[in-house]
Amino acid sequence: MAAGEPPEDLLKAGSVAAKVRDLAPSIVKPGESCRRICEYLEDETRRLGAQPAFPCNISINEVAAHYTPGLRDDCIIPDEGLVKVDVGASVEGYIADTALTVVVGDRWSSLAEAAREALEAVTKILKPGMRLYDIGRTIEVTVKRRGFKPVRNLSGHSIDRYRIHAGLVVPNHADRTAWLHRLTPGLTVAVEPFVTNGRGFVREASTVNIYAYTGRKPKTPLTSEEEKLLSAVVERFKTLPFTLRWLTDVMPVDKLETAARGLTVKGLLHGYPVLIEAGKGMVAQYEHTFYVSRDRVYVVTLEE
Ligand code: MN
Ligand code: MN
């Protein structure tokens, strides 16, 4: 299989995502609105020549992942805690996915440090052909040495064109089900250690602020609003995750919410619930996207 250098568009997406991610520490400050932060980072992604591959996620403390401000809700950066900022950039459907944790106040810095160290440890050992199990094992060992737990039911993932979660799971613990899966040349993968002082797994909350088109065809008739929303979604985002914040020009907010709910019930949209640590533990996360060639593994989202 030909798998030399990473695709140009993937490198571009990686460079944009890394730049945007690295803006976060200077703008995540106590009292700041998460909506303002997310909109700024999403705008910067566009200004740098990419599209947001998914809404900017800003998940605070025991909220582990998948929170983005919705149409009517927002969050405020607390005086103390862990703020995970997770951003994605897409160039022609080539996606880079990356995250860091901003420590507000000093209290939880060792948790963030453990997550960063786990990602660094993985970055050092990545080789074409290695088992995904060994990535998970390295994360678990690194995190436990620091006295914390990995979040077992959150994982990294393979990435395809226009598909952020392409099917392959990159575990955050020594997961035997990943024994047979390997880093094959041509693969793009995101590795994202989540570290906690809680129970070590997440549960779904009822809030859903992120959606994606499932790629299915309607089996039951759609209302005219559902039809209008679906065609805007397919045209703008294809199968990439989006937020209703990006669609307020299509119809009024209350109609947007009703149409999104209807399309979800009819199986055309997938909703991503907010994920919360089961023991209300604090959670830290770091993430890079990697590209596997025949003879090495590239970090696509490396800091400048
Ligand atoms: Mn991510
Ligand atoms: Mn990811």
Say whether both 268 and 278 belong to one domain. Answer: no
The string of pLDDT tens digits covering residues 67-88 is 999 999 999 999 999 999 999 9
In a domain, 3, yes or no: no
Kindly state whether residues 87 and 180 are assigned to the same domain. Answer: yes
Same domain for 110 and 155, yes or no, is yes
215 and 94 belong to one structural domain: no
Indicate the DSSP class of residue 196: E
* Cα(257) to centroid(ligand 1), Å: 25
Distance between CA atoms of 72 and 253, rounded to whole angstroms?
A: 9
Whose atoms come closest to the Cα of 88: which ligand?
A: 1
Q: What is the pLDDT of residue 265?
A: 96
Give the up-direction half-sphere exposure of residue 221: CA atoms within 13 A in the CB hemisphere.
2
pTM for the predicted model, two decimal places: 0.96
If you measure from the C-alpha of residue 286 to the centroid of ligand 2, how many angstroms do you get, rounded to a whole number? 10
Q: What is the CATH number of the domain that holds 221?
A: 1.10.10.10
Same domain? 249 vs 290 = no
pLDDT tens-digit series, residues 212-224: 999 999 999 999 9
Give the CATH number for residue 94.
Answer: 3.90.230.10
Name the amino acid, one letter, at 28. V
Tens digits of residue pLDDT in 122-146:
999 999 999 999 999 999 999 999 9
Which protein residues have a CB closer than 5 Å to ligand 2 (ion)? 97, 190
pLDDT at residue 42 tops 60: yes
Specify if 180 maps to a domain: yes
| 157 noted as active-site residue | yes
Please tell me whether residue 263 adopts helix, strand or coil conformation: helix
Domain housing 236 = 210-273
Q: Is the pLDDT of residue 47 over 90?
A: yes
Q: Ligand 1 centre from 264 Cα, in Å? A: 23
Catalytic, out of 97, 134, 140, 277: 97
- Same structural domain for residues 106 and 228? no
Q: Residues 157, 173, 181, 288: which is the catalytic one?
A: 157
- pLDDT class for 1, splitting at 50, 70, 90? very low
- Tell me, what amino acid is at 278? A
Q: Are 286 and 116 in contact (CB under 8 A)?
A: yes
pLDDT at site 304: 67
163 contacts 188 by C-beta, under 8 angstroms:
no
Q: How far apart are the CA of 223 and the centre of ligand 1, in A?
A: 33
Average pLDDT on 278-299 reads 97
Q: Judge contact between 18 and 85, C-beta under 8 A.
A: no
CB 242 within 8 A of CB 211: yes
Q: In the predicted model, what is the mean pLDDT of the chain? A: 97
Q: Which of 86, 117, 225, 277 is catalytic?
A: 86
Cα(60)–Cα(70) distance, integer angstroms: 15
Does residue 140 carry a catalytic annotation? no
Please name which ligand lies nearest the alpha carbon of 100.
Answer: 1
Distance 65 CA to ligand 2 centre (A): 10
Considering 62, 192, 225, 226, which one is annotated as catalytic? 192
Angle at 176 between CA 174 and CA 180, to 5 degrees: 120
Per-residue pLDDT of 173-190, as tens digits, reads 999 999 999 999 999 999
Q: Are residues 183 and 251 in the same domain?
A: no
Tokens 């990159």 locate to 170
Confidence category of residue 4, pLDDT binned at 50, 70, 90 = confident
Residue 215 belongs to a domain: yes
Percent with pLDDT over 90 in the chain: 97
Distance 271 CA to ligand 1 centre (A): 16
Q: How far is the CA of 157 from the centre of ligand 1 (A)?
A: 10
Residue 154 located in a structural domain:
yes
Question: Domain total for the chain?
Answer: 2
Cβ contacts of 139-147, under 8 Å, gap ≥ 24: 139/171, 139/172, 139/173, 139/193, 140/172, 140/173, 140/174, 141/174, 142/114, 142/117, 142/118, 142/193, 143/114, 143/115, 143/118, 143/193, 143/195, 146/110, 146/113, 146/114, 146/117, 146/195
- Whether 196 is covered by a domain: the verdict is yes
- Among all bound ligands, the one having the nearest atom to the CA of 66 is 1
Rg of the Cα atoms in the chain: 19
Verify whether residue 86 is a known catalytic residue: yes
Asked if 31 and 94 sit in the same domain, the reply is yes
pLDDT of residue 231: 97
Determine the distance separating the centroid of ligand 2 and the alpha carbon of 210, expressed in angstroms.
14
Burial of 142 (0-12, 13-18, 19+ CB in 10 A): buried
Residues with Cβ within 8 Å of 124's Cβ and at least 6 positions away in sequence, in order, are none
Q: How far apart are CA 261 and CA 101, in angstroms?
A: 31
Catalytic residue among 32, 113, 165, 227: 165
Q: How far is the CA of 287 from the centre of ligand 2 (A)?
A: 7
287 is catalytic: yes
